[in-house]
A and B are shown apart, each in its own frame.
Chain A
């Protein structure tokens, strides 16, 4: 099981989230060449190392977030974490 550190919900089973993929920046559609646009749409580095990824918390907070994961070991580096406890009575 892969525990993904959601910055809002805390560590969650990866089945509660959707792996969106490598976090890449979108080129300006008015200025990008066809090659740049094709690269943005289809080409990925697919590294076996530390990689910044986008995840979507489908079952929890329904937020997109970025997190750095080692694709070879599945470790997460410096995950942004909420408090240990989930809410409680205000």
Chain B
């Protein structure tokens, strides 16, 4: 496996006192499971932590495992390989960003049509939608009680989406982390 290098340029000046943060977590190991078998007991739209890995049901027949390489490998041991099952390393294929802040939902509401209220998208919710006209998988994954979203798109759209999120977050005092 070649060493991972993010597609995002690293010339942003971080502001530690900001109220909202965007970080590039594209180096996170990503493993995609496409299967006609139910996997991990997760239905479309749900997520679950297995060890230190996060498993997300991103489509009715697709699951995504995120985490460090050892954690993802350990979680992958639970894949039911019966039926028609494909396991695809996706680390290099996708950009992954984390948006954290009390007003993170307000930012997403500007550029995405999903209802980001707690009632519709509680902690752990997984959905797929257009974010700034880019198809993204979005996972609500709060950190220390603060709203946080993982956004994943095709690697080639990564730089555009990163800049679009920073642009949309300007009014919320966003900074790179």
User: Which residues of A line the B interface, CB within 8 A?
Assistant: 8-9, 12-13, 15-16, 58-63, 82, 84-90
Please give, as numbers and ranges, the residues of chain B lying within 8 Å of A90 by CB-CB distance.
Answer: 41-42, 46-48, 124
Q: Can you show 8 pairs from A to B with CB atoms below 8 A apart?
A: A8-B44, A12-B129, A15-B113, A16-B130, A87-B45, A87-B46, A89-B122, A89-B123
Among residues 83 to 135 in chain B, which have CB atoms less than 8 Å away from a CB atom of chain A?
113-114, 119-130, 135
CB distance from A83 to the nearest CB of B (A): 9
Please give, as numbers and ranges, the residues of chain A lying within 8 Å of B126 by CB-CB distance.
Answer: 86-87
Quick one: given A8-B60, A59-B129, A61-B128, are A87 and B113 in contact (CB under 8 Å)?
Answer: no
Interface pair B120/A86, CB less than 8 Å apart: yes
- Chain B, residue nearest A85 (CB): B120
Most buried by B among A9, A59, A82, A87: A87
Contact with A15, one of B44, B48, B125, B130 (Cβ below 8 angstroms): B130
A63 to B124, CA, bound (A): 22
Please give, as numbers and ranges, the residues of chain A lying within 8 Å of B45 by CB-CB distance.
Answer: 82, 86-88
Most buried by A among B44, B47, B123, B126: B44
A45 to B19, CA, bound (A): 55
- Secondary structure of the A side of the interface? loop
A82 to B57, CA, bound (A): 15
CB distance from A6 to the nearest CB of B (A): 11
Q: CB-CB contacts of B22-49 with A at 8 A, as 1s and 0s?
A: 0000000000000000000111111110
Please give, as numbers and ranges, the residues of chain A lying within 8 Å of B120 by CB-CB distance.
Answer: 84-86
- Chain A, residue nearest B119 (CB): A85
Please give, as numbers and ranges, the residues of chain B lying within 8 Å of A61 by CB-CB distance.
Answer: 44, 59-60, 128
A15 to B133, CA, bound (A): 10
